[in-house]
Amino acid sequence: MTAAHARPTNSVQPINSVQPIKVGIVGVGKISGQYFDTISRLPVLQLTSVADLNTALAAEVAAEHSVRNLTVEELITDDDVDLVLNLTIPAAHAEIALQAIAAGKHVYGEKPLAATFEDGAKIIDAARAAGVRVGSAPDTVLGTGTQTARRAVDDGLIGTPISAVATMVTPGHERWHPNPDFYYQPGGGPLLDMGPYYISSLITMLGPVARVIGAASHQRDSRTIGSGPRAGETIPVNVDTHVTGVLVHESGVLSTLIMSFDAAATRASNIEVHGSEATLIAPDPNQFGGDASIHPVGGEWSVLPVSAGYRDAGRGYGIADLAATPADQQIRASGDLGLHVLDVMLSLLQSAEQGVSVEVTTTCLRPEAVPLGDAPGGVTAA
């Protein structure tokens, strides 16, 4: 049995607005701004410090948010940090997470959980041994978009789920990102970068995955940066940039996945779920909201009313959900889910390389549904 097969046991107690969980952020790059915004409006979270290898940037951000600017080592061991929010590049996810766990801190990290399965499993095992919690992005699945779609499945509106199709097509992040190098190195690519959103949503709606069949390719050995101070610079491509395959869920549902940095555009829905009685369109899993639509047999398309999920959610709601979840319950944006998603993705790449079907070695609990509400812990966002 792998680490992800067992229900984790944790000694941490739920945190409420009277006693917020103290958060230290490692990595204050582009994505951190969304977390700063969320933390500032959720009473269950309190930002205390930041750290970054770019010391000038860290000092600027710390001053902007009136928090302490520490070194990475100082932040991880600081008594005023309960949880380390790991916003480093994927290659550093495991190193920072393991250091934080060794210091007795809870950890929440950006996706993917780690760059390799071995490192991801080490994080989960270390956290279980230390009695601390691990959460993993994406937490977009906690918003009203995916959760309303999930409720349609749970309520039987589509009948028996049969299949799903998830599609993400772009011409590549180098067109807009000023430092896109890591997207084209091991740990990157369209699957490991964008796949967590789509696969987490599919698992939330349809349950864990048992087996995968994949194929992959890349058309170019280099990319040209299109914006910022490095515009015109050429960077190498060392990963497949178009990945497709079939996920065989434990329930028997078949999900087709298409993840590409090689194509111009698509008119396909982000996620379609086909059932015996209706087809469901789930909104963009990279967003927290959006409309879910349904087309019953013999009927017409209609937009479903919002019926589940956190309203006005943003990146960081997974941390608040972690803080508000009792010790004997599984957190929704959990490390176990993150490890299973990582396992699915890496198994898909292995299948593509070897040309065979690959069994997924982990499983996870299907995350609990999110009732319609304002914020984790039953509190209203500020």
Query: Which tens digit of pLDDT belongs to each residue from 257-272?
Result: 999 999 999 999 999 9
pLDDT at 133 exceeding the cut of 50: yes
Query: For 349-378, what is the mean pLDDT?
Result: 94
The partner residues of 150 in beta bridges, in order of sequence, read none
- Give the model's pLDDT for residue 377: 72
Which three-class secondary structure state does DSSP give residue 183? helix
pLDDT at 10 exceeding the cut of 80: no
For residue 171, which phi and psi values (nearest 5 degrees)?
Answer: -80, 0
CA-nearest of 297, 296, 316 to 381 is 316
214 C-beta neighbours (distance < 10 Å), count: 25
Q: What is the DSSP string of 6-20?
A: SPP---PPP--TTSP
Share of the chain above pLDDT 90, in %: 89
pLDDT at 1 exceeding the cut of 80: no
- Under DSSP, the state recorded for 117 is H
The mean pLDDT of the chain is: 93
Which three-class secondary structure state does DSSP give residue 92? helix
Query: For 75-104, what is the mean pLDDT?
Result: 97
- Give the model's pLDDT for residue 203: 98
pLDDT at 379 exceeding the cut of 70: no
Pick the range with the lowest mean pLDDT from 4-13, 239-248, 356-365.
4-13
Query: Which tens digit of pLDDT belongs to each residue from 180-233?
Result: 998 999 878 999 999 999 999 999 999 999 999 999 999 999 999 999 999 999
The tokens of 346 are what?
A: 């890496």
- Give the model's pLDDT for residue 382: 55
pLDDT at 378 exceeding the cut of 80: no
Query: For 130-148, what is the mean pLDDT?
Result: 98
- Under DSSP, the state recorded for 170 is -
pLDDT at 3 exceeding the cut of 60: no
Sign of the alpha-carbon dihedral angle for 109, 70, 72, 99? negative
Res. 381 pLDDT band, cuts 50 70 90: low
- Give the model's pLDDT for residue 2: 42
- Whether 69 and 44 have beta carbons less than 8 Å apart is answered as no
Which three-class secondary structure state does DSSP give residue 232? coil
- Give the model's pLDDT for residue 160: 98
pLDDT at 281 exceeding the cut of 80: yes
């050995």: which residue's tokens? Answer: 221
Query: For 81-98, what is the mean pLDDT?
Result: 96
Q: What is the DSSP string of 15-49?
A: --TTSPEEEEEE--STTHHHHHHHHHH-TTEEEEE
Query: For 22-46, what is the mean pLDDT?
Result: 95
Environment class of residue 256 by beta-carbon count within 10 Å: exposed (0-12), middle (13-18) or buried (19+)? Answer: middle
Close Cβ partners of 271 (under 8 Å, ≥ 6 residues apart): 149, 164, 165, 166, 167, 198, 201, 202, 281, 282, 285
Type and span of the H or E element at 100: helix 93-102
Pick the range with the lowest mean pLDDT from 19-23, 98-102, 341-345.
19-23
pLDDT at 4 exceeding the cut of 70: no
Cα–Cα distance, 283 to 368 (Å, whole number): 19
Task: List strand residue ranges (DSSP E) for the chain, in order.
Answer: 21-26, 45-51, 68-69, 83-86, 106-109, 134-136, 161-169, 209-217, 222-224, 234-236, 242-249, 254-260, 271-275, 278-282, 293-296, 302-303, 358-359
- Pairing outcome for strands 161-169 and 254-260: parallel
Query: For 126-143, what is the mean pLDDT?
Result: 98
Chain-centroid distance of CA 196 in Å reads: 5
Query: Which tens digit of pLDDT belongs to each residue from 289-346?
Result: 999 999 999 999 999 999 999 999 999 999 999 999 998 899 999 999 999 999 999 9
- Give the model's pLDDT for residue 230: 96
- Give the model's pLDDT for residue 144: 98
C-alpha neighbours within 13 Å on the C-beta side of residue 221: 0
Pick the range with the lowest mean pLDDT from 17-21, 30-34, 159-163, 261-265.
17-21
The tokens of 124 are what?
A: 């989960």
